[in-house]
Amino acid sequence: MQMYDLPDSRGHFGPYGGVFVAETLVHALEELRAAYETARKDPAFVAELESELKHYVGRPSPVYHARRWSDLLGGAQIYLKREDLNHTGAHKINNTMGQAMVARRMGKRRVIAETGAGQHGVATATVAARYGMECVVYMGAEDIKRQAANVYRMKLLGASVVPVESGSRTLKDALNEAMRDWVTNVESTFYIIGTVAGPHPYPVMVRDFQAVIGRECVVQMPELAGRQPDAVIACVGGGSNAMGIFYPYIPHDDVRLIGVEAAGDGLATGHHAASLCAGRPGVLHGNRTYLLQDAHGQIVETHSISAGLDYPGVGPEHAWLKDSGRAEYVAVTDDDALKAFHDCCHREGIIPALESAHALAYAAQLAPSMARDRILLVNLSGRGDKDMHTVAEKSGIRF
């Protein structure tokens, strides 16, 4: 394939991405773009980030051959990229560490973040504590009720958690509120966005920080399996873990890239969060991308058993990868994800995050149709400790 050099200088991935924000934010984004450009080309920054990822986050994360589960499925071999073993239990910290270091270079003493399930909020609160920065996390009032343990974790780490009561009181509204804080306090404040969405440079910056996942895999797979995988599979909400593992594989033409969205109760029911499979392009949160919207262009409420996938948009680079055909996007239901969650627990002794269980579910569907010498690499983006209550409730168990 042609050399892949997206986005362009204004953050466009074909017709997607860009900077769709009010004038009041443009200057702050321009400052951020310039600061990030300088940082990523500075060997001292790169070396410090590598050192932090190694000693604080615990990288590289291993790749593990899920041999028993693969044998039971009777087809392709499933390998798991163990992002669940990172400090704070998910891939989110790869990005928050990078952005917090950019914030420090810019002299910002206060960081803010939006969070849905709380994973990005926890990862932000963690690096803020690590660097002695003030931290404010915006979280939808509905999500605060559903994720009490993560709210407490953030508070233990010294962050303030601000409930957002507007709109649907979930992740998208938390993002709106964080943007409002940023535009009001732009002098002192750095906004750490948690996914590959938002206005330029966020989609490219977050991708770059998460691409460590895929870069490690490109080295690890030949060592462990003797070659690169036939397909790389990752769940997609906003799409940061998927972008992180896909990006280094984009030039590997013979590696399929498969993103798995949340089909919730099923795409036909309308209760889902599958922007790429069932949405259409529009403008939200500073970029053009696929959105779940009604006929009048209002953003609709989404549903997924996994709070981390419960978002009506998706990163603009995924929109481009879909249209260009380089990546494929599918969706699995809550029930399929739950089954994969339990299978992964029982067969491999690994409790996956419900988000990651969507990628596992699709791998488990695909594997039996493939020969035993085929290889599927699944990004196990986070661990499932945070989902105990959700899964127990589904099984009718109360603590």
Partner 1 sequence: MSRIADVFGKLASARRKALIPFVTAGDPAAGGTVELMHALVGAGADVIELGVPFSDPMADGPVIQRASERALAEGVSLDDVLGFVTAFRKRDSTTPVVLMGYANPIEAMGTEAFAGRAQTAGVDGVLVVDYPPEESAEFAALVRRHGIDLIFLLAPTSTKERIDSVARLASGYVYYVSLTGVTGASHLDVGGVGAKLAAIRRSISLPLGVGFGIRDGESARAVGKVADAVIVGSRIIQEMEQGDPAAAAARAATLVRSIREALDRP
Binding site for partner 1 (CB under 8 A): 10, 18-28, 166-167, 172-173, 176, 179-180, 183-184, 186, 281-286, 291, 293, 295-299
Active site residue 381: yes
348 close to 68: Cβ distance less than 8 angstroms: yes
DSSP-derived 3-state class of residue 115: strand
Using a 10 angstrom Cβ sphere, with 0-12 exposed, 13-18 middle and 19 or more buried, the burial of residue 103 is buried
**Residue linked to tokens 């790869």:** 94
> Whose Cβ is closer to partner 1: residue 158's or residue 167's?
167
CB of 8 to partner 1, least distance (A): 12
> Whose Cβ is closer to partner 1: residue 167's or residue 266's?
167
Q: Which one from 52, 70, 83, 114 is the annotated catalytic residue?
A: 114
CB of 282 to partner 1, least distance (A): 5
Q: Which one from 240, 275, 356, 381 is the annotated catalytic residue?
A: 381
260 close to 362: Cβ distance less than 8 angstroms: yes
Query: What is the Cα–Cα distance from 55 to 367, expressed in whole angstroms?
Result: 35
CB of 82 to partner 1, least distance (A): 35
Active site residue 92: yes
CB of 29 to partner 1, least distance (A): 10
140 close to 174: Cβ distance less than 8 angstroms: yes
Query: What is the Cα–Cα distance from 85 to 397, expressed in whole angstroms?
Result: 27
Query: What is the Cα–Cα distance from 99 to 205, expressed in whole angstroms?
Result: 8
CB of 237 to partner 1, least distance (A): 17
Q: Which one from 52, 61, 81, 92 is the annotated catalytic residue?
A: 92
> Whose Cβ is closer to partner 1: residue 22's or residue 371's?
22
Residue 294: how many CB atoms within 10 A of its CB? 8
CB of 167 to partner 1, least distance (A): 6
What is the bridge-based pairing of β-strands 12-13 and 16-20? antiparallel
Q: CA of 241: how far to CAs of 2, 180, 195, 212, 308, in Å?
A: 24, 26, 8, 10, 11
Query: What is the Cα–Cα distance from 83 to 290, expressed in whole angstroms?
Result: 27
The angle subtended at Cα 304 by Cα 301 and Cα 306, nearest 5°, is 130
Q: Which alpha helices (H) appear in the chain, and where do they start and end?
A: 23-40, 43-52, 67-73, 92-105, 119-131, 141-146, 148-156, 171-184, 202-210, 212-225, 240-246, 275-278, 316-324, 334-348, 354-366, 388-394
Annotated catalytic residues are: 92, 114, 381
